[in-house]
A and B are shown apart, each in its own frame.
Chain A
Amino acid sequence: MATATQAPPATDSIIETDELSVLYNGSAAVRDITLGIPRNRVVAFIGPSGCGKSTLLRCFNRMNDLVPNARIEGRVSFHGRDIYAHGVDPIEVRRRIGMVFQKPNPFPKSVYENVAFGARINGFQGNMDELVERSLRQAALWDEVKDRVQASALSLSGGQQQRLCIARALAIEPEVLLMDEPTSALDPLATQRIEELIYTLKQDYTIVIVTHNMQQAARISDRTAFLYMGDLVEYGPTNEVFTNPREERTEAYITGRFG
């Protein structure tokens, strides 16, 4: 799909894909995607259900490895290095590229243990209390939980749980944060808090967010990719994609004519 526009030069991109396809049982979920994710920016993937945006996102931290019968073709590079190359440990990839899921999925343990888990398994040697506090502060959750970090994470509200999941991802100090519809299970107020958080986090992190909500993409992202039936239809600066789309299908989708 040659219509994908790729404005920033390659050196600016922290993640790049080249002719990337993902096949489930031989049929393509995404096809020939070539795009770059610029550093310290928020990139949104939009498109109707089943268009492949989540599949594409999962390629970036090799979560598709866990899906039986999934096959990856093409190339995904992180800092110019092919993350699917022979000898690359997916565990190292996932430590540097964190992920937040659609439904808040805290571990059924204390708030503290949720944040500490990633650090522990990755052999963190420093001061755990400091790390937990810093991560919770970064996720704008510290003030709400500082008196009950030993309480069960399941006692938090849905929005708090999702911010805890963000704190948990930040605790292993990734460079990129992948978010797969992080607010679709939350109420508008909780959604707003997450969106504000994303806005702050992009100073230190590169964020790729999949969203069903076009207003959300327009509010928080710097660049937007529109996917349709496995193809990358359009990719460009968010204000251009939303105000002056190059493609007929993009315009039809963002004006609500389908999807």
Chain B
Amino acid sequence: MSTLTDAVEYAPRGPQRQRKGKLMRGLFLASTAVGLIALVVLIADIVLDGAGSLTWRFITSFPSRFAARAGIRAALVGSLWVLGLTTLFSFPLGVATAIWLEEYAPRNRWTQLVQVNIANLAAVPSIVYGILGLAVFVRAMSLGRSVLAGALTLTLLILPVIIIAAQEAIRAVPNSIRLAAYALGATQWQTVRRQVLPMAMPGILTGTILALSRAVGETAPLIMIGALAFVPFAPKGPGDAFTVLPIQIFNWISRPQVQFHHLAAAAILVLLVVLMAFNLAAVLLRNKYTKTL
């Protein structure tokens, strides 16, 4: 390859640079492959283990000492109850907090302090929230080992994550949009409600879904507040005792009989389906918001 310049100050080393570029490309691809292969192996393993046990009877039966009769009805309904209530509490509370911090709060030391603390709370181990939930919701507020206590505990757990994600999304709305609305005589609330929130909503939804996905997979804080492993009934209301899928899975895995391990794998598949359904709902909602833009 002939060089295009004669200047001695340049040593283009064209082939070497190209090689380096190809090497980096290969490294990035390999990194992606590691995660992807691990995931595929994991899912394949679970499917091989659990697909055989995944029957309609498995979904609709309550737990039993006999693996052949055991099902996840109690855990599935419990998980859906907890997930539903957690969404109901955490989404409005988190978004409203983010709106306050981004749109209304004065920029001073106090709000900075609040900001730093929210970031710290997002990093607190979930078991700590379990202890808090036990002390506050289960005992002090006498909610008992109920669905409500579990949902409130998980709400505390994921609230910081939702707040931070919503703040990022609100901050990403260009200020020129706010000025345009104000210049047309909009109040602050009209500006936030009609312009800022719709533009931020896709980002807010993404963050909320990630946070709720974390909540539905949580075990430790719910064990802490006393969610049961053996529940021969499905919760009918927020005051009932409950269990959730991850706890049921943990319970089955820790038994010696191999049949229960197959049940655990099947329960993991159900949990995955619940998560995917949830993500799908989020994608649909997000598309709806993006389309109106």
Contact = CB atoms under 8 A, between A and B. Distances in A.
A117 B182 contact: no
A213 B95 CA distance: 44
B141 interface: no
A169 B180 CA distance: 9
Contacts of B186: 91, 117-118, 121
B22 interface: no
B185 A101 contact: no
Contact of B184 (A66, A68, A98, A109): A98
B273 interface: no
A186 to B, nearest CB: 16
A101 B181 CA distance: 12
Nearest to A120: B194
B183 A98 contact: yes
B179 A121 contact: no
A101 B292 contact: no
A91 B185 contact: yes
State which size class the interface on B falls in: 20 to 34
Contacts of A22: none
B195 interface: yes
Contact of A107 (B177, B182, B187): B177
Contacts of A91: 185-187
B182 A68 contact: no
Given A103-B176, A105-B180, A121-B190, A94 B195 contact: no
B293 A121 contact: no
B228 to A, nearest CB: 49
B176 A118 contact: no
Contacts of B177: 105, 107-108
Contact of A152 (B107, B180, B195, B293): B293
B179 A63 contact: yes
Interface in B172-202: 174, 176-177, 179-187, 190, 194-195, 199
A122 B199 contact: no
A13 interface: no
B182 A105 contact: no
Contacts of A39: none
B184 A169 contact: yes
A76 interface: no
A105 B180 CA distance: 7
B174 to A, nearest CB: 8
B194 A66 contact: no
Contacts of A66: 179, 182
A172 B107 contact: no
A89 to B, nearest CB: 9
Interface in B29-88: none
Nearest to B185: A95
A66 B186 CA distance: 13
A106 B180 CA distance: 8
B194 A101 contact: no
B185 A68 contact: no
Contacts of B176: 101, 103, 105
6 contacts: A103-B176, A107-B180, A121-B184, A168-B184, A172-B184, A172-B185
7 tightest A-B CB contacts, nearest first:
A118-B184, A95-B185, A105-B176, A99-B183, A108-B293, A94-B185, A105-B180
